[in-house]
Amino acid sequence: MSVLVYTENWGGKFKKLSFELVSYANEIAKMYGTNLVTISIGNVSNEELTTLGNYGASKIYSITDAKFNNLSSQAYTKAISQVAKKESANLIIFANTYTTRAVAPRVSIRMEAGLVPGCIALPKQTEPLIITKKAYSGKSFADVEVKTPVKIITLNQNSFKLIEAKTTVSIEVFNPEVSDKDFIAKSIELQKASDKLDVTDAEILVSGGRGLKSADKIGIIDEMAKAIGANCTTACTKPVSDLDWRPHFEHVGQTGKVVAPNLYFALGISGAIQHLAGINSSKFIVAVNTDKDAPIFEAADYGIVGDVFEVIPKLIEAIKELK
Amino acid sequence: MKILVCISHVPDTTAKISFTDEGTTYNKNNIQFIISPYEELALTRALELTETQGGTITVINVGEAETEPTLRKALAMGATDAIRVNAKPTDAFFVAKQIAEIAKQENYDVILTGKESIDYNGGQVGEMLAELLDIPSITSVSHISFSNEKAELQREMDGGYEKLECNFPFVASGQKGIAPEAKIPAMRGIMMARQKPLKVVEPTEVNNLTEVKIHTLPQPKGACVMVSPDNAKELIRLLHEEAKAL
């Protein structure tokens, strides 16, 4: 038996999410009393792989064949399943990201393993495995039992803390068996949406709603995010993204991105239920709105009732003083 | 072009969520059910594509009789015909297996799903289906078009996009961007939908891999600490010293 964790990389690098995931997997391996095995797919240096050893990764399978540079859900599925079989994995863990959403359900079929996507905490129990996931777009939670011998879970970002566990790492290069049929979907071009920090990676989000009036005026959120620093980026509501005041990759909510930052500034946002569904895992929510009865104040931890264009410059000033 | 669009029947996005029977059953009282938004967008795009390039669109749902109005809405939007697999959708694997049974006989060129249903948020059915059918799958698709026996797609990734091309058949899961806005059925479409074929098929026997034991609601939040608009500095102090979030 073993616990297998797939650590995705972004341009050959890991990010905080990778270390959260390994910390999480290491805790679960302890619950089962088994080894933790890690798999990495893509061109990641041994030096970078070794950083996973700070959080408990000991044995790492590394697939560096250039065929795997772009995501093929079929080839990745085969690679992960082959390592899972080789290591007799009873549990396979992924982070809940775009890549793993393409892969984990396929691995589930191949391994005949029940899958619980979007978990937010350690399992409640291991025999049988019962684990909590988010449901109804963040409006509720579901405790799900997995009934198969091999099990798969995916962990939501920012839902587990880093736990240091220095381990000696051994890296084994692995060459999975794949066929040409696994590469029918061909990558033509990769485009970076922007150089900005992704909303799901930011620890602090400054988010604007229709209360910020126009594409020009909403630019004040950029100024505030800049004042806060490198761990902060901007976000927006659906109407704002639909009006093209802000790019659609900033849209946070039920049909946009679901976020879980440490701190969420909701500026000129009334708090439609669909927006709240996307932000209610934030540790702290701060609302600034002219309407004291706006539903956002029910979700917020701190609030100011007032004109956003008067309040925001004062906030920016106070933040600058703090830094 | 022969397209299958998988539809889930979910509570309206504005619906308040509550549970009965000690957290085991979703409370459907006074709840309006809709086509899950991403699937509605995927269907809208499929309609745009078949309007210009020809073809048929079948919509499918695994659900009990209560989901038929949702399938009728898809027919009213313009789908050619509908299939309902007469079973309670107990988990994603169960649903994927039912649809795979039908897809194996029908040889669709393209199977579309949404990136996730807005109730369970699993995002599993499309990719499971593709694995069961042993065909490619492309997730989080924000653009799709057809040309020369091939499809061109754009999928969203963390921090960017990827453009791809893929030979038929394949499964794609649609997300925001695949169509600008969901198509609203016209009166003529609603009238025609009543006459369109909606076939009910019985499920094949499948064992669940997972089971939801209990649903819970988030703990209610404590009261919001209100700060005067003249004292924005105090808010930043609280965030720094009390919440330690800044």
- Please report whether residue B232 resides in a domain: no
Q: What's residue B219's pLDDT?
A: 84
CA angle at residue B174 from A218 to B78, to 5 degrees? 110
- Residue-level pLDDT at A138: 85
pLDDT of residue B19: 96
Q: Closest to A263 (Cβ–Cβ): which among B159, B237, B245?
A: B245
% of residues, chain B, pLDDT over 90: 93
Contact between residue B55 and residue B1 where contact means Cβ atoms under 8 Å apart: yes
Record: contact B243-A204, CB cut-off 8 A:
no
Q: Whole-number mean pLDDT of chain A?
A: 96
SS3 B114: strand
Asked whether the beta carbons of residue A315 and residue B160 sit closer than 8 angstroms, the reply is no
Q: Which residues of A touch B123 (CB under 8 A)?
A: 101, 105, 117
The beta-carbon neighbor of B122 closest among A73, A113, A117 is A117
Residue B47 lies in a domain: yes
A151-180 residue pLDDT tens: 999 999 989 999 999 999 999 999 999 999
Task: Say if residue B144's pLDDT is above 90.
Answer: yes
Mutation target vs B (from A109, A248, A265, A285; most B CBs, 10 A cutoff): A109
Based on the structure, what is the number of domains in chain B?
A: 1
User: Is some CB atom of chain B closer than 8 A to the CB atom of A307?
Assistant: yes
Q: Is B123 on the interface with A (CB under 8 A)?
A: yes
Q: State the nearest Cα–Cα gap between B56 and chain A, in angstroms.
A: 23
pLDDT band at A45 (very low <50, low <70, confident <90, very high): very high
Asked whether the beta carbons of residue B121 and residue A188 sit closer than 8 angstroms, the reply is no
Percent above pLDDT 70 for chain A: 100
pLDDT at B220: 82
Query: Using 50, 70 and 90 to split pLDDT, how confident is the model at B233?
Result: very high
Decide if A290 touches B, using CB distance below 8 A. Answer: no
- Among the partner-chain residues A97, A143, A322, the one whose CB lies closest to the CB of B213 is A143
CATH fold group of domain A204-322? Rossmann fold (3.40.50)
| pLDDT tops 80 at residue A279 | yes
B95: in domain: yes
Quick one: CA torsion of A43, B124, B18, A239, rounded to 10 degrees? 60
Q: Residue B7 carries which side chain, given as an amino acid letter? A: I
Residue A287, classed as helix, strand or coil, is strand
Task: From A270, A141, A253, A140, select the one nearest A205 (Cα to Cα).
Answer: A253
Residue B55 in any domain: the answer is: yes
Average pLDDT over residues B23-41: 95
List CB contacts of B131: < 8 A, sequence separation 6 or more: A74, A77, A105, A106, A108, A109, A110, B137
**Residue B19 with chain A: CB contacts under 8 Å:** 140
Interface of A with B in 16-55 (CB under 8 A): none
Structural domain includes residue B223: no
Determine, for residues B215 and A135 on separate chains, whether the beta-carbon distance falls below 8 Å: yes
Would you place residue B200 in the very low, low, confident or very high pLDDT band (cuts 50, 70, 90)? very high
Min Cα separation A212/chain B (Å): 16
Higher model confidence: residue A255 or residue A44?
Answer: A44
Chosen for mutation from B121, B156, B237 (greatest number of chain A CBs closer than 10 Å) is B121
Mutate to test the interface with B, among A301, A307, A310 (most CBs of B within 10 A): A301
Question: Which of the 8 DSSP states describes residue B171?
Answer: E
Establish if A139 touches chain B: CB-CB under 8 angstroms: yes
Give the Cα separation of A161 and A157 in Å (integer).
10
Q: Which residues of B touch A301 (CB under 8 A)?
A: 221-222, 224-225, 243
- What is the reported pLDDT for A137? 85
E strands, B7-91, are 9-11, 19-20, 25-26, 33-35, 56-63, 81-86
Q: Is residue B246 part of a domain?
A: no
For residue B97, being part of any structural domain is answered with yes
Which range (A59-63, A238-242, B221-225) has the least confidence? B221-225
Topology at the third CATH level for domain A2-183? Rossmann fold (3.40.50)
Tell me if A2-183 shares its fold with A204-322: yes
- pLDDT value of residue A255: 85
The CATH number of whichever domain residue B25 belongs to comes to 3.40.50.620
Q: Residue B79: which domain range? A: 2-216
Decide: B61 and B84 in contact? Cβ < 8 Å. Answer: yes
Beta-carbon count within 10 A of B200 CB: 11
Name which of B169, B166, B131 is nearest B152 in CA terms: B166
Chain B contacts of A315, Cβ < 8 Å? 232, 235-236
Q: Where are the alpha helices (DSSP H) in A87-234?
A: 98-110, 220-228
Q: In this predicted structure, what is the pLDDT of residue A304? A: 97
Closest chain B residue to the Cα of A192, Cα to Cα: B160
Q: What is the pLDDT of residue A195?
A: 81
Q: Which residues does chain B have within 8 Å of residue A314's beta carbon, measured at their own beta carbons?
A: 232-233
Q: Is B24 part of the contact surface with chain A (CB cutoff 8 Å)?
A: no
Per-residue confidence (pLDDT) for residue A270, from 0 to 100: 97
Residue B160: which of A190, A200, A318 has the nearest Cβ? A190
pLDDT single digits (tens) A78-126: 999 999 999 999 999 999 999 999 999 999 999 999 999 999 999 999 9
Buried b (16+ CB within 10 A) or exposed e, B124-140: bbbbbbbbbbebbbbbb
In a domain, B183, yes or no: yes
Share of chain A above pLDDT 90, in %: 92
User: Does B106 have pLDDT greater than 80?
Assistant: yes
Q: Where are the domains of chain A?
A: 2-183, 204-322
Evaluate whether A318 touches B236 at the Cβ level (below 8 Å).
yes
Among B residues 182-241, those touching chain A with beta carbons less than 8 Å apart? 207-218, 221-222, 224-229, 232-233, 235-240
Q: Measuring CA to CA, which residue among A131, A107, A105, A103 is closest to residue A24?
A: A131
Is A108's Cβ below 8 Å from some Cβ in B? yes
B138 contacts B173 by C-beta, under 8 angstroms: yes
- Cβ contacts from A onto B, under 8 A: 270
